[in-house]
Chain A
Amino acid sequence: MTTLLDVRDVSKRFTMGGLFGRKQVDAVMDASFSLSAEKPEIFTIIGESGSGKTTLARMILGLEDPSRGEILFRGQKVDRHAGRAKRLEFMSNVQPVFQNPFEAFNPLKKIERYLESTARRFLHTSDKAAIDRAMDEALQKVGLSLREVRGRFPHEMSGGQLQRCAIARALIPNPPLLVADEPVSMVDASLRMSIVNLLKSLRDDLGVSVIYITHDLATAYYISNRLIIMQRGRIVEMGDARTVLDNPEHAYSRLLKASVLSTDDAGAGKLGTDPDMLRLANGSVGQAGRLIDRADGRSVRVYESV
């Protein structure tokens, strides 16, 4: 089996607060997993807000150096400081879709300029017609068209439209790996399903692997092959998505599933959380524990004291 992506014992420590009052934050601690090159999959990362999902994604994209450990893409070390040509080659293979479309686009630049420069860069062409065609094709894949987008600035678009543009941009170089950080959090349910289905067909029809970061357990269940659940920088559970979500084992995973709001009691104002579950989930915070393998293929973090 050849690996597409290999994340090996990766950790990231930040110093927060600039010059004064420094503080260390362990954003990611000893994360390991790998994606196979032969079997494209949707690999989902869910977990606590601030648990290191975006940081992990940024390291995979080579936008941030790991403090420890290494990440290999097709056997080559992902290196932020590699030469220009190598970086470009890497970037045509691994494309990002970021969390917040309002932050991803410069408000003073027309949307098409992003698409254009991506197309020019990766298609190695400056032929206007070819570039337009590539942009339109990518936009059509996400339910937009060049005609609708042309001439518009980011603030002239709604959140959902912007997010679709961001995905379209990432699709231009036909990358084998897409890293999508909460790509559907700002779109309506219908569009959400169409974007999620788009990711699915990218996998099934074009062999694209997707690292899908989300807070939405329902779409995670619907499209993922495998998933990891993170809490405070650590992977606490990993395995086949349906196996894990049907029956989560780690206390935090269980709390997460139990906290999903339902519409069954619409209007009753039910927002309570079971205090026991909360206590159990927080009980292990700060402890390293270790990941152990279970018979059903999942790995779960366990602690000496429990």
Chain B
Amino acid sequence: MTLENNPEILKVENLKAYYQMNYFGVSREVRAVDDITVTMRKNEVYGIAGESSSGKTSFIKVLAAAIRPPLRVVSGTAKYSFSSGAIDVAHATPDEVEAVRWKHLSYIMQGSMSVLNPVRRIGKTFHDFAARPLGLKGKAFEDRVVAHLDRLKLPPDVLRAYPHELSGGMRQRVTIGLATVCHPEFIIADEPTTALDVVVQKEVLNLIRDIQKEMGASVVFVTHDMSVHANVADRVGIIYAGRLVEEGPTREMFFAPKHPYTAHLVASLPRIGDTQQRPALEGRPPNLADPPQGCRFHPRCPLAIDICRKEVPPLETIGPDHRTACWRWRDVAPLVHATQPAGVMA
């Protein structure tokens, strides 16, 4: 399904966000988000994948208006068009952010514990966050929350529990519940299902999709689990070393990736039955305080040529909804066939 014609809900332009630190007079700058331009549409599920520490969480923090020093927006914009009006979260004031939080924009952080107050019962936390936006009180509020938790396969008892009394996966579902109970227009989720068993994971992903469909909401989620992207996302974007290197419709990204790093990612997924090691990426992850010149992937790229070492490849549109930043995107196809095990090609 392509949602090409749906109206835009988020437009990110030339966004740069760096961690700027000063240790005893020595300054250090980590260019975690380095010139990202991307558009997200109403009713769309956009999946983000990429290497560990490539800047996914940092990017998503800007989108979620959860920017705290030393992270700073250096340039660019991130504009939402909510039903309540437009807001550029890269430059919004805390009050402006407060006005859209939970009701229009919600954020499920990586490592779920951090939003849950350890000395507050789950029920109280729900009350703190959701009672006002929902405009419900007492029994009516509790009923709504209980019904919502039920969809996440959580019993009403969790409302009486303290966070440490729940398992990791239960806490993760609680935060998903918090982020979705107010039916926001835009849901941002960082690794929302990593702590769940595969049965519950499927149910939770279904819930996220259902809410998204019912409400016409948009979802951006980050996960390392490529099989989640494969089954949930409409489009997938790949981040490498602080940059968006490829984005496209999910099917194309899996079966016809046009960037060598994407090709590696989709082939690296181990499967049940694998006893053989899959090829790992050569070399070390790039240092974001001093990223490689030219294409940032060049030191590890099997297709690298001279120009890659000198010039940054532009993020070029190569098909409907499909963009890639690679000088040699036309030559990626053979790479895919070489690395994918037999029987995977559709």
Contact = CB atoms under 8 A, between A and B. Distances in A.
Given A23-B157, A159-B52, A261-B202, A190 B230 contact: no
Contacts of B221: none
A54 B168 contact: yes
Among A161, A215, A217, chain B packs the most CB atoms within 10 A around the CB of A215
How large, as a class, is the contact surface on chain A?
A: 35 or more
Contacts of A156: 19, 21
B232 A100 contact: no
Nearest to B167: A50
B199 A189 contact: no
Contact of A190 (B21, B157, B280, B346): B280
B46 to A, nearest CB: 13
Interface string A151-172: 1000011111100000000000
A186 B194 CA distance: 7
Contacts of A245: 272
A157 B194 CA distance: 18
B103 to A, nearest CB: 26
Given A221-B272, A271-B205, A17 B160 contact: yes
A21 interface: yes
Interface string B318-346: 00000000000000000000000000101
Contacts of B195: 49, 99-100, 182, 185, 215
Given A187-B224, A256-B199, 15 more contacts: A17-B121, A49-B173, A158-B57, A160-B52, A182-B168, A191-B51, A215-B196, A246-B273, A255-B199, A260-B198, A261-B201, A262-B230, A266-B230, A271-B206, A273-B203
22 contacts: A17-B160, A17-B165, A21-B160, A54-B168, A100-B111, A100-B168, A103-B113, A159-B57, A187-B224, A188-B51, A190-B281, A191-B51, A192-B224, A193-B277, A218-B274, A222-B274, A262-B230, A263-B226, A266-B230, A267-B252, A268-B251, A271-B209
Interface of B: 1, 19, 21, 23, 49-53, 57, 110-114, 121, 157, 160-162, 165-170, 173, 191, 194-203, 205-206, 209, 224-232, 249-255, 264-266, 268-275, 277-278, 280-281, 284, 344, 346
